[in-house]
Structures are given as C-alpha cells and as structure tokens.
Amino acid sequence: MKWLTRSLFALASAVAASGPAPAEDKKPVPAPTAARTAAEVEVVKDLAYAGTADEHQKLDLYLPKGQKGYPLVLFLHGGGFSKGDRKDAALFGEALAKQGVGVAAVGYRLFPEAKHPQPVQDAAKALAWLKSNAAARGWRADAVFVSGHSAGGHLATLLATDEQYLKAEKLAAGDIRGVIALSGAYVVPEARKDVFGDEAARKAASPLTHVKAGLPPFLLVYADKDSPGRDQLTKEFAAALLGVRGTAQVIEAKDREHGTLFTKIAAGDPTGEAVIAFVRKHSGKK
C-alpha cells in the first residue's frame, strides 16, 4: 500500500501535498506567439484505426490544408473512462491545425463495456495507424506526439511510460516525440477499481510506477481551480521524471477549472500557446 498512500490523488478524493514543485513549475507560461498566417483546416472524420466498425475505435483528423511534413498530436478525450467523445476535441484540433500542427482526435472503448487495458491498447493501435499512414496523409512519422485530457491524459502518459502496449504494436517509446497531459491521472486510486481491478493491477496501470530514463519529453498542465490534489500529483510525477534526468515542464493554467482547462484551449490562449510551443520545440518545427 506504500505506493498508493504516498501518491494517491483524487479522481474522487484529495491527496496530501508532496513537497516542493520541480524547477520547471516556476517557468512562466509562454506569451502569445507573434501573429502567423493561419492555415486552412482540412477535416477528415470517422477513420477506423483498428480494423473494426466500432465507433469508439475511430479517429478524426484536423490537418493544416495543403501542407506537408508537419507534426501531429494524437489526442485522447477525457470522461472518467466511461464517457466523452473524440468529437469533443473539434475546437482543439482546429486551433492547432490553423497553426500548422495536425491533430488526430482518437476514440477508445469505454467502461463498462471495456475495462483496462483495452483503452490504452486502443491508443497504441491508433498510434500505429498514424505512424503507418503518415507518408500518405502528409504528417511526419517521426514527429507524432501523444496527448489527452483527464482520463485521456492518463492513457497518454501510460502509453508513453509502460512500453508493453507499444511493443504489442511493434512500436517503442522512441516512436512518441513528446507527451502533453492536461490534468492527467498519474496514479490510479482505489475508487477506480471498477475499471482497473485490484491494488496490484492499479499500481501497474499507474504511469508513476513506470517512470524511468529514456522517456520522451513531457508537458504537464493543471488548472488553478482543478480537482483536489491534481496539482500536487502533477508536480510529483514531474519530479519523478526529472529524477531520472527526463524532461518535464509543468504549467498551472490560470482561471481554469478541470473541464475548461481543455475546452478553452486555443491559439492565443496561454495554455494553447504552451502546447504549440512544446510541439514546435520538440519536433524541430519553427
């Protein structure tokens, strides 16, 4: 129980503070970037990535129209593993695509029909599909990021830290250029045993358990009015990454709650600008 006692955060309840924030937390949120000519957005919907007709195993693309060789963000929606929809990411996808960053809004199977590890297996299958379709569709296969909000943030970070799901699709951590977690879940609490199972299974499904050297860079964002304990566990997860000489940038989004942290992301919004800057920096795109 030590891992749970030390790290448990609230999907349903609060956690105790876990010490000082890592140095990255003190960095200012980037100011809005200079005005750029916004790209037109090409939207392609309902692409099956797992070879099934299941509506939850489809993705929607938001792409900078007429461009080639741009980075792409695989985005996983929130909803507590039991609700939410890839269509919730439409405004997010359009905002990034206008700035030359493609977005794949990915659906995944939901509880109670699906339990762990099916959602993260879906995320891995979607990543494999995006990598294999890069040349035909226009984005860079070597510049695919994974991202998500809330439950989707958990899936994105688990996919990047526990390589078993990538290996099942003949991928590796190096196939992920970076990770963007918005109010993510880094430890699975007992309250979610319905989705994840017993204590051993919850520990194995917790991204914090799998922190090690050699992971991609992380951008970790939480809201100043987020769920109780989300700030402290975000900082603890970042500190663990820094402890193995990883790259972790932490940002507190001002005047945001758990939901609006995601829904208000746009170009010009500080959080949106931070996401775009992170992608540009780690993809080599200027």
Question: CB–CB of 41/97 below 8 Å?
Answer: yes
How much is the pLDDT for 277?
A: 96
Residues 6 or more apart in contact with residue 115 via CB below 8 angstroms: 194, 195, 196, 197
Residues 6 or more apart in contact with residue 121 via CB below 8 angstroms: 165, 168
Residues 6 or more apart in contact with residue 17 via CB below 8 angstroms: 232
The residue assigned the tokens 């100011």 is 31
The residue assigned the tokens 């078993």 is 164
**The model's pTM:** 0.88
How much is the pLDDT for 36?
A: 55
Q: 214 — alpha (psi -120 to 50), left (phi > 0) or beta?
A: left
Residue 270 backbone phi and psi in degrees, to 5: -55, -40
Pick out the chain residues at pLDDT < 70: 1-37, 285-286
How much is the pLDDT for 242?
A: 98
Query: Residue 131: is it exposed, middle or buried by C-beta count within 10 angstroms (0-12/13-18/19+)?
Result: buried
Number of neighbours of residue 189 by Cβ within 10 angstroms: 20
How much is the pLDDT for 38?
A: 84
CA atoms of 213 and 180, how far apart (whole Å):
18
For residue 58, the cross-strand partners are 48
Question: CB–CB of 164/204 below 8 Å?
Answer: no
